[in-house]
Structure 1
Amino acid sequence: MYDYAQVHVKYTIPPAIVLTIVLAPLFTRRDIFKICFLLVVAVAYTIPWDSYLITTGVWTYPSDVIVGPTVFDIPAEELFFFIIQTYITACLQILLSKSVVTATYLHNEADGQDPVGRSLKKRKRVGQVILSLCSILPLFMRGGHATGTYMKLILVWAGPVLFMLWTFAYQLLLTFSWSKTWLPIMLPTLYLWVIDTLALRRGTWCIESGTKLGIQVWPHLDIEEAVFFLMTNTLVVCGSIAYDNAAAVLDAFPSTFAVVPGIPSPALLLKGIFLSTSKYDIARIRGLQNALEVLARKSRSFYLASGVFAGRLRIDLILLYAFCRVADDLIDDAPSAEEADSWVKHFSNFLDTAYSPKYDRARFEQALAPFPAKAQSILVLLPTDKLPPQPLYSLLDGFRMDQRFFRKGPNQDPPIQTFADLERYASCVAATIGELCLSLVYQHDPDHLTDETTKQKCVAAGGEMGRALQYINIVRDVTTDAQSGRCYIPNEWFNKSSASSPVKHNEEVARHRKRILDIAFAIYAENRDAIEELPRYARDGIRVAVESYMEIGRVMRDRMQEGKPLDFTGGGKKGRASVPKWTRIWVGWRTMAGWRGSA
């Protein structure tokens, strides 16, 4: 009795609960709005079609398997199926796409130098032809209760909507990896095929034999049911990706869409989806692609954390971090001190030009000219209108301190002579990044509810947290830094008499590493509560960025306590302490779920 309700209790509600638990810490406002929008559309569009199937006898339900209440002859359990299936599939698509910066998959199809864009235009037309035929040809099939009626009704119902969604979102559907498109379609489809097989075998619902083709995928699963669940999940995934496509266009092109609220209105989303691809700023897209590539190679902790941010804040944070990484690579990897100095001057000149009150295009292009092409594409996108200049100049001061390692003569003291020198260095290269990140957070805050006092407190705490993370970095990289002629442990800490004994020297270095690590955790403990005062929309992302890096410190602290060497490989470069990818993902999830790391 009440078999249909039991289907939900046993098979559909549990995976929905699991997905909710997994996704709850990761949900953004846009995610929630998208799911609600898809639910409303799915239910509203399916009710008339499903009601027709039931009233014409294509589908039937024994009276003892349903609770009783109906809407337009549709059992309450059936209505709930529309909701729960849409919810499960949408959640899965959101979860699998969290790491994607959707704007990087947009293409200007009028750009002759973009072979992908040119191919997309042709493939779009092929898809439209196929979906048009799927929508129109069933109309010429025999009507009534003739064989094939159910399949005809499925195709006529789903085909036009798929045609529309394909037309809107074909770029992403064609360029996303299979794990972002086919996987969220096929996983729930296969699962629902199994549920449907069990329900048909038990007689929970049945299809009239005169309306189906009589072909079975496997025993008890008719081809029509298999196609129905494949179509419905495809509709949900394509609808979700079409929403992402519209939001990506809005976020990617501030010159076209000056203001984009946290949750774009349906009218604004339509403007985004209808914007001609020929108007896409291809230079901006390529610059963002290059920035993301730099982060994926050079800053895995932030690359992971960036998936928690949304909209233009995420894009601007990626561009800021990529700028810092490009500067670090060009200056740090320079073959000589003279060339490193030259790069510092080039960056300083670039900032002077970018922050000049009077924009001079010729001067700006001249300032960009010394940089490699990929670096230029990133630098030109640096959101200087939202960033204060002073921290960026301080960052260059930190690079200048680095270069003193290569200028010191045989009788000259190292640059990091005292702990005050170490503090100043960490403030230049890391505290500045914390300040810049929080500047972007407040610039993009959709609510603007934070008072000035709280802002100043959080920005100051962000600078301190940046220092703590730099200390973690220094402790981790002692060996690799030494190989390149650098030592960030204050020189005054060393006992000069131990220098002649490698064993004593190594023991002393280990003590100093622990000392710096303890300082890092003390700063972290003192400032981590300030994260809770950040705007809610960015709080989780900042927390993940901090905790994923502090986890490296925790791993090192544990190894120190166990007497193990710190220079190991856990997914990073040889000789550098790191945290495996899945551990970082776990740390990120538990952090967003409200679990606080140890200080």
Structure 2
Amino acid sequence: MGLDYAWIHLIFTIPPAVILTIILRPLVTKIDLYKIVFLVSVAVIYTIPWDSYLIHTKVWTYPPHGILGPTLCEIPLEELFFFVIQTYMTSLLYILVNKPTVYLTYLFDDTDPRKSHVQYFRWRKRLGQVFFACFTLSSYYFSTLPSSKGTYLALICVWAGPVVFALWSLAYQPLLTLPRSKTWLPIILPTAYLWIVDTIALLRGTWTIESGTKVGLQMWPGLEVEEALFFLVTNTLVVFGLTAFENALAVVEAFPDKVPVVPTFPSPSLLMQALFLSPAEYDTSRINGIREALKNLSAKSRSFYLASSIFSGRLRLDLILLYAFCRVGDDLVDNAGSAEEAERWISHLTVFLETSYSADHSKRKLDEALAPFPPASRAILALLPTQALPSQPLFSLLEGFTSDVDFSRLKGKVPNKEAARFPIKTASDLEIYASRVASTVAELCLHLVYHHEPGSNTKQNSFSSMSIRDRCLKNGAKMGLALQYTNIARDVYVDARDGRCYLPTDWLREQGTTPEQVIETHGRADGVAETRKRLLDNAFAIYKESRGAIEDLPQYARAGIRVAVESYMEIGRVLVEKMAAGGPLEELSGSGRRNRASVPKPRRLLVGWGALTGRRSGAIPEKQVKTG
């Protein structure tokens, strides 16, 4: 009886597993836990017979002074734990690296031979199959080496080869199209680390590979080439297995026509059916639309893009599609060359919504309603989840776009010289405008949250639960005001260059200036800083009043909503900090669209982490703002 192997775990395997657990604890969902348990179970069950055979045939041995003693099928307890801890660590690293990934966007119909990229990927699939088949068949060659020196290599190949071949054949699309960092990193990092751990264990004599079963080559002193291959292969199995799981889950979640209701924990049989589904049956229009929506958000709505990775399943997809619809509409109106063109886009959007919500919305009528839009916009609009959304907030959003049309579309020019003609005359006008363009979006997001709430179809709509829901919707609309006020305060310079001023006219008059002067000076008129500070004060007052309602939302969505809200309000905190320091606000400008102010990425990640763990940034500190 000895503690050598136990100390290997206590010093080298358990600590990194604990660190990864702490890091991922706020991010891990029920489906993530399901993946891990599933993979660990498969790894243990599949490896026990193989490992038992290696021990029985003396390929490797464990000195009695290095292990505690209890065994299963001759496998020491510590070795069984190694199966679990290695799979667990690699799985956590994979989940961490791939948390923002929407796997659906990496799938495609590979059955059309006329598409050149399809032929390219099919050729790579075949090449991979040949490679892994040769890897498996090489076991025969190693088994023929003299004096059984290739036994260990042969057993590795015959054990791992068929599984790697099968996983590659079933999930080759994401394995080939995912960024390499998403697949290679979770293989290379734990492999390199376990090579070091294995070297230490072999040199200590914690376990031993018998000299008659190894070829005698070493990666470096102390690390046999068989051991190096073993850890590379086992981590590859885990990563390929997780990718195949995600591939199947993407098919299950993305195509309601194939799977009307997604179980909380999809059965292995359902996942296998999804993996074996022919790519020819994929809804490519849905894949392309979600791909376009993600492209739009990653470029123009980084705060929401960050928050969207916290959600999962169909809720995440529908939130992405809803927010992309809002971005598409906003961009069409903002980028119009004239007020008349902007009004035409609003009219087209109105027709699209009327058609979508009509009792008779045939595919032909919907295609006609979508025809005026650019292809990329059309792909997004066609997927708007109207079945889960009330129509009124969407039409109110279009009324907000109509308010934008009241401003001239000619950059650098003021439409008139009468301040009274500016649409945002009072704080009340500002609230109405913000409620149309932002409160509506917040309300729609919450409708999706409740629509996709697990078990929502079987829950009783009690008076208490409906009251909580109504309160959350009401506070969500208020929070939308806070986010829009922050947005307006951020974009004063940008809006002024576009001939707009959303700061209330009466507030500006109190500071001795007018909307015309704000536009003519590109947002640098006297009194603008004081007005922006006043707007941010209002935003944070509303935020402070409404944020508590987030904790009344369904538990599965709270963290994502917190991240979305806190990420956006952090823009306001940065603005206030800059104003308090008397620094130039345009230093905030990043590389995003129209040089809009943004929060540096490291700070966004810290804010997101704080929101996930429930530690919100809170109200901004009281500071004397330099507004001169």
TM-score, normalised via structure 1 length:
0.97
Q: For residues 304 and 137 of structure 2, what CA distance do their matches in structure 1 show?
A: 49
Structure 1 position 271, deviation (Å):
1.6
Partner of 1:461: 475
Query: Is 1:591 aligned to residue 572 of structure 2?
Result: no
- Once the two structures are superposed, residues 542-566 of structure 1 have per-residue CA deviations (whole angstroms, 9 ceiling, x without a partner) of 1111111111111112222223233
Q: State the match for 1:273 in structure 2.
A: 275
Identity of aligned residues (%): 55
Counterpart of 1:536 (choices 555, 573, 578) is 555
Shift of 1:166: 0.9
Alpha-carbon distance in 2 for matches of 1:342, 1:350: 12
Q: For each residue in 1:181-206, what CA deviation from the matched residue of structure 2 results, as whole angstroms up to 9, or x when unmatched? A: 11100000000001111111111111
1:452 maps to: 466
Q: Cα–Cα, structure 1 residues 145 and 2, in superposed 2: closer, same or farther, change >3 Å?
A: farther
Matching residue's letter, 1:429: V
Written as runs of structure 1 = structure 2, the 5 A alignment for 1:394-433 is: 394-406=396-408, 409-411=416-418, 412-433=420-441
| 1:154-213 per-position Cα deviation (integer Å, ceiling 9, x unaligned) | 111101111111122111111111111111000000000011111111111110000001
Q: Structure 1 residues 62 and 144, CA, compared in 2 at 3 Å: closer, same or farther?
A: farther
- What corresponds to 2:623 in structure 1? none
**Residue 505 of structure 1: how far off its partner (Å):** 7.4
Q: In the superposition, relative to structure 1, how do residues 564 and 497 fare at CA in structure 2: closer, same or farther (>3 Å)?
A: closer
**Match among 201, 204, 208 for residue 203 of structure 2:** 201
Q: Please give the secondary structure, in 1, of the residue aligned with 2:585.
A: coil
- State how far apart, in whole Å, the 2-side matches of 1:78 and 1:591 are: 39
- State how 1:172-321 maps to structure 2 within 5 Å: 172-321=174-323
Tell me how far apart the structure 1 counterparts of residues 613 and 65 of structure 2 sit (CA, whole Å): 42
Task: Report the 3-state secondary structure (helix = DSSP H, G, I; strand = E; otherwise coil) of the residue aligned with 2:219.
Answer: strand
Deviation at 1:106, TM superposition (A): 0.4
Quote the residue 2:622 is aligned against: none
Q: Deviations over 1:572-596 (max 9, x none)?
A: 5476431112221121112111212
Q: Distance in 1 between matches of 2:546 and 2:116?
A: 49
For 1:308-340, what per-residue CA distance to the aligned partner results, in whole angstroms no more than 9, with x for missing partners? 111111111111111111111111110101100
SS of 2:203's partner is helix
Secondary structure, counterpart of 1:217 in structure 2: strand
Classify 1:444/1:116 alpha carbon distance in 2 versus 1 (closer, same or farther; 3 Å).
farther
Cα distance in 2, alignment partners of residues 497 and 28 from structure 1:
50
Of stretches 132-141 and 277-286 in structure 1, the one that deviates more from structure 2 is 132-141
- 1:355-413 Cα offsets, whole Å, 9 max, x none, are 11112332221111110011111111111111111111001000111111229543352
Q: Is residue 481 from structure 1 mapped to residue 500 from structure 2 by the alignment?
A: no
CA distance in 2, matches of 1:377, 1:333: 19
Residue 455 of structure 2 is aligned to residue 435 of structure 1:
no
In 1, the alpha carbon distance for the partners of 2:438 and 2:215 equals 67
Q: Give the direction of change, closer, same or farther, for the CA distance of 1:209–1:339 in structure 2 (3 Å limit).
A: same
Give the letter for the 2:130 counterpart: V
Counterpart CA distance in 1 for 2:546 and 2:118 is: 47
CA spacing shift, 1:11–1:543, aligned 2, 3 Å: same
Aligned-residue offset at 1:119: 2.4
Whole-Å Cα distance in 1 between the matches of residues 547 and 186 of structure 2? 36
Q: 1:150·1:224 contact (CA, 8 Å) conserved in 2? A: yes
Match of 1:470 among 472, 480, 484: 484
Gaps of 5+ in 1: none
Instruction: After superposing the two structures, state which structure 1 stretch, 419-428 or 574-583, moved more.
Output: 574-583
Moved more, 61-70 or 28-37: 61-70
1:365 and 1:252 mapped to 2: Cα distance?
Answer: 22
Deviates more, 1:554-563 or 1:141-150: 141-150
Whether the 8 Å CA contact 2:293–2:321 is kept in 1: the answer is yes
Larger CA deviation: 441-450 vs 388-397:
441-450
- Change in Cα spacing, 1:43 to 1:473, as seen in structure 2 (3 Å) is same
- Cα distance in 1 for partners of 2:448, 2:494 equals 32
CA contact (8 A) 2:610 2:617 kept: no
CA distance in 2, matches of 1:570, 1:24: 33
After TM superposition, give the deviation of residue 285 of structure 1 in Å: 0.8
- Whole-angstrom CA distance in 1 between matches of 2:524 and 2:486: 21
Cα offset for 1:93?
Answer: 0.5
Distance between the aligned counterparts of 1:359 and 1:112, measured in 2?
A: 34
Q: After alignment, is 441-450 or 337-346 more displaced?
A: 441-450
TM-superposed deviation, 1:570:
5.5
Distance 1:183 1:505, change over 3 A: closer
Deviations 1:513-547 (A, max 9, x none): 11110111111111111111111111111111111
Q: Take 2:466 and 2:407, find their aligned partners in 1: how far apart are those partners? A: 40
In structure 1, C-alpha distance between the alignment counterparts of 2:259 and 2:117, rounded to whole Å: 25
1:6 aligns to 2:7 (yes or no): yes
- Indicate if the aligned counterparts of 1:395 and 1:432 stay in contact, CA closer than 8 A: yes
Residue 511 of structure 2 contacts residue 526 of structure 2 at CA under 8 Å; is this kept in 1? Answer: no
Following superposition, the deviation at residue 116 of structure 1 comes to: 3.0
In structure 2, the CA distance between the partners of 1:70 and 1:459, relative to structure 1 (3 Å rule), is: same
Partner of 2:112: 111
- Does the Cα contact within 8 Å between 1:110 and 1:118 map onto a contact in 2? no
| Alpha-carbon distance in 2 for matches of 1:377, 1:94 | 29
In structure 1, the partner of 2:544 is 525
Q: Count how many residue pairs are aligned between Structure 1 and Structure 2.
A: 599
Deviation at 1:129, TM superposition (A): 2.2
CA 1:438–1:497 in structure 2 vs 1: closer, same or farther (change >3 Å)? Answer: closer
Aligned CA distance change for structure 1 residues 297 and 38 (closer, same or farther; 3 Å): same
Q: Secondary structure at the match of 1:260?
A: coil
Shift in Å, 1:241: 0.6
| Cα deviation, residue 114, structure 1 | 4.5
SS in 2 for 1:263: coil
Separation in 2, partners of 1:159, 1:441:
43
Superposition map of 1:3-402 within 5 A: 3-111=4-112, 114-139=115-140, 141-142=143-144, 146-402=148-404
Q: 1: CA distance between counterparts of 2:589 and 2:615?
A: 23
Secondary structure of 1:494's counterpart equals helix
Amino acid in the other structure paired with 2:185: L
Distance in 2 separating the partners of 1:452 and 1:210: 72
8 Å Cα contact 2:194/2:231 also seen in 1: yes
Deviates most, 303-312 or 490-499: 490-499
Could you list the per-position Cα deviations for residues 54-76 of structure 1 after superposition, in whole angstroms to 9, with x for gaps in the alignment?
11111111111111111111111
1:39-96 CA deviation, whole Å, 9 max, x = no partner? Answer: 1111111111111111111111111111111111111111111111000000001100
Say if 1:596 and 1:215 are closer, same or farther in 2 by CA, change over 3 A. same
Are the equivalent residues in 2 in contact too, given 1:498–1:505 (CA < 8 A)? no
Contact in 1 for aligned 2:512/2:526 (Cα 8 Å): no
TM-fit CA distance, 1:497: 8.0
Q: d(CA) in 1 for partners of 2:61 and 2:337?
A: 77
In structure 1, how many angstroms separate the alpha carbons of the residues matched to 2:145 and 2:566?
62
Aligned to 1:490: 504
Please report the RMSD computed on the Cα atoms of aligned residues, expressed in angstroms. Answer: 1.9
Q: Specify the alignment match of 1:564 in structure 2.
A: 583
